[in-house]
Structure 1
Amino acid sequence: MAGTANVYEFDEEQSSTELRYVFLSVGKKIVSKIVVYTCTHQFENRDVYNLGFGDYFDEDDNIEDRVQTNNGDAYVVFNTVLATIPLFFEKFSDSMLMVQGSDSRQGFAAECKRTCLKNCKTSCRKSNQRISIYRNFVEKHFLTLSQDYWFLGGFRGLRYQIITEIYIPGRKYDAILMFRK
Structure 2
Amino acid sequence: MARTPPETLYTAALPTPLGEARVVFDRDGVLCAFDWTSHEARMRRLLRRHHGPAQPETAAAPPAVRQAVADYFDGQVEALARLAWRTNGTAFQQAVWRALCEIPAGRTESYGQLAARIGAPKAVRAVGLANGANPVGLVVPCHRVIGADGSLTGYGGGMERKRWLLAHEGVALRQAA
- Higher strand proportion: 1
Higher relative contact order (CA 8 A, sep 6+): 2
TM beyond 0.5: no
- TM superposition score normalised by structure 2: 0.29
